[in-house]
Structure 1
Amino acid sequence: MAAQNFLLRSCLLWNGGGKLILNNRFNHIIVPQQPFLGLKTDSQSTVVIPKKPKKPLTGYFKFIVEKRPILLKENPTVPNTEAIKILAAQWRELAPSEKTKYEQEALQLRQQYDQELLDYNAHLTPEQEEKIKEIESDAKEEKKKRKLKKEMKEMGKPLKPLTSFGLFAQPHLIGQRNIIEVITDLKKKWAEMPEVEKEQYHVQYLKHKDAYDKELKKWEQKMINMGKSHLVRAKTLNVKESSKKKNPQ
């Protein structure tokens, strides 16, 4: 349901231009498409990145993976979070000899992994090493952005208003299962719609945008007062800093 809601809102925030593209990570539409950054292949250049050895599970997680299907089969109504708590308690109460068995298996796999990783790194070319650094740096940056967006949501950042196209499309999308097919058809209708008919949606958008800008300004000031300036847009901070210099107290 969350993924479907995200997909719907992504469509409604689309500005009516460019291409609608399906993102395979969340199965939703985004504009424009971002290149997939993985360690297996690189379609953006001639550098081929070999598959990296997979880090093995610890003894604890090997126990969880082994026992979880059994627990859920015997207790199908138990939520996943509760199942993990139950298994964690079982691990703590596990006989030392049983724990040692899992930990020894994990240790052997870890030693094998360490050797495979050494071999993997030893056979990388300088170009591959540079590309892997670039990919890992991009991945860290994306993780940082996701963390920031999550914090913004938790702090109640106002949602962007629907675009003119979003206002037009909204009533046609609610309750639809095949969002991709419907949005593609709506995109075509929007492109063919006379500007005079689009005007009503533009007017609504500008009204909502004005209200959003005011709410966002209040929210950003609140974040600054709370010491959370990292959640505030750089241009807002620059304006305030410039104002301080012009009007020193």
Structure 2
Amino acid sequence: MAPSSLVTAGVRWIARSFSLLSSSGSLARCTSVLPASYINPGRSLTSQASGPPKKPLNGYLRYVMQQQPVITRHNPEIKSVDIIRTIAQQWRAMEQEQKQPFEEASVRDREQFKVDLQRYKAQQSPAHLQQQVLEKRERMAKRKAIRKKRELTNLGKPKRPRSSFNIFMSEHFVEASGATTQAKMMTLLEDWRNVLSQQKQVYTQLAEDDQIRYKNEMKSWEDHMIEIGRDDLIREQTLSANRKTAAKTLGAKTEAKKTKAKVAAKAKTTRKTAKSDVVKLERTTKTCSST
């Protein structure tokens, strides 16, 4: 949720620049500020000079394109994120008939997009289309990896342990000679090769300590992920170890149950035997008494 001051400022911008909250006729004034191409951009938003046609914008994004330069011109000190938030507030406050020109333009462009896409595909060779499919898969995989990395960062996943050379490099990077990062790294690599074994041992120990830090932090982090139901983020080696531990625990419990059952059965047998001996003794006693 936005702070109350931001909401108040947004309402003030709306009332001052567009008056969308108080007048249904204000949309015409707003849309006339910029050329009609922002409402109905046509092929400019659905096709390129080369390459496949672009997917058309929906009605809301068309409205954003139209209003963003207007708000920027009237409020040059406003941040981009606040501009988008203001436009979103305007869009939510608009009546359906005010949104209709933007949405109808989007529908027309979607139809044109289908035609342009079919024409584009008909002009391409099967090999070129296959290459485009592979490139799209690579882009999607890269985006997925970026989103996954961002999610892990937000969830506080511990940083991986550093090697002894990485620790050495981080300590001496600033004073290393070289005009570029790559040149500095090459210099540091050469320096590392010339470091005495006694000096390297210090960094080796630091790397081992960092490895211990990583293991401890990862254990705590993965335990927390299991608690919140994010088993999908747990490393396979941890899952395998957990399965083995669970299997051992289950086996121990099963063995304990079997042992307990055996003890109970043996005790039951002993009781039966004792009871039978008592009965025999009583019979013998009665026989001797009658005699």
Distance 1:140 1:67, change over 3 A: same
The unaligned stretches of length 5 or more in structure 2 are 1-49, 254-291
Counterpart pick for 2:215 among 196, 208, 213: 213
**Alignment partner, residue 181 of structure 1:** 180
**One-letter code aligned to 2:186:** K
**Alignment partner, residue 74 of structure 1:** 74
Distance 1:156 1:93, change over 3 A: closer
Q: What is the alpha-carbon distance in structure 2 between the residues aligned to residue 115 and residue 124 of structure 1?
A: 15
- Report SS of the residue matched to 2:180: helix
Are the counterparts in 2 of residues 53 and 117 from structure 1 also a CA contact under 8 Å? yes
**Alignment partner, residue 236 of structure 1:** 238
**One-letter code aligned to 1:153:** T
Q: What is the alpha-carbon distance in structure 1 between the residues aligned to residue 219 and residue 246 of structure 2?
A: 17
Are the counterparts in 2 of residues 168 and 201 from structure 1 also a CA contact under 8 Å? yes
1:63 and 2:67 correspond:
no
Greater relative contact order: 1 or 2 (C-alpha under 8 angstroms, separation 6 or more)? 1
Post-superposition Cα deviations, 1:118-142, rounded to whole Å, max 9, x if no partner, equal 1223334333343333333333333
Q: What is the alpha-carbon distance in structure 1 between the residues aligned to residue 73 and residue 166 of structure 2?
A: 44
Structure with more helix by fraction:
2
Which deviates further from its counterpart, 144-153 or 201-210? 144-153
Distance 1:228 1:97, change over 3 A: closer
Aligned-residue offset at 1:147: 2.8
The unaligned stretches of length 5 or more in structure 1 are 1-49
Are the counterparts in 2 of residues 173 and 183 from structure 1 also a CA contact under 8 Å? no
Aligned-residue offset at 1:228: 0.9
Matches within 5 A, 1:9-158: 51-94=51-94, 99-158=99-158
Q: What is the alpha-carbon distance in structure 1 between the residues aligned to residue 147 and residue 89 of structure 2?
A: 30
Aligned-residue offset at 1:96: 5.7
Post-superposition Cα deviations, 1:92-111, rounded to whole Å, max 9, x if no partner, equal 44466653333333333222
Over the matched positions of the two proteins, sequence identity in percent amounts to: 25
Q: What is the alpha-carbon distance in structure 1 between the residues aligned to residue 90 and residue 137 of structure 2?
A: 38
Aligned-residue offset at 1:61: 0.9
**One-letter code aligned to 2:148:** L
Q: What is the alpha-carbon distance in structure 2 between the residues aligned to residue 173 and residue 69 of structure 1?
A: 44
**One-letter code aligned to 1:219:** W
Q: What is the alpha-carbon distance in structure 2 between the residues aligned to residue 213 and residue 95 of structure 1?
A: 57
Q: What is the alpha-carbon distance in structure 2 between the residues aligned to residue 171 and residue 152 of structure 1?
A: 27
**One-letter code aligned to 1:151:** E
TM-score by length of 2: 0.58
Distance 1:94 1:245, change over 3 A: closer
Post-superposition Cα deviations, 1:160-180, rounded to whole Å, max 9, x if no partner, equal 2333333223245569xxx98
Q: What is the alpha-carbon distance in structure 2 between the residues aligned to residue 182 and residue 146 of structure 1?
A: 24
- Report SS of the residue matched to 1:57: coil
Aligned-residue offset at 1:205: 1.5
- Report SS of the residue matched to 1:160: coil
**Alignment partner, residue 200 of structure 2:** 198
Number of paired residues?
198
- Report SS of the residue matched to 1:72: helix
Q: What is the alpha-carbon distance in structure 2 between the residues aligned to residue 138 and residue 182 of structure 1?
A: 28
**Alignment partner, residue 247 of structure 2:** 245
Distance 1:238 1:123, change over 3 A: farther
Q: What is the alpha-carbon distance in structure 2 between the residues aligned to residue 76 and residue 162 of structure 1?
A: 45
Distance 1:108 1:172, change over 3 A: farther
TM-score by length of 1: 0.67
Are the counterparts in 1 of residues 173 and 184 from structure 2 also a CA contact under 8 Å? no
Distance 1:141 1:182, change over 3 A: closer
**One-letter code aligned to 2:114:** D
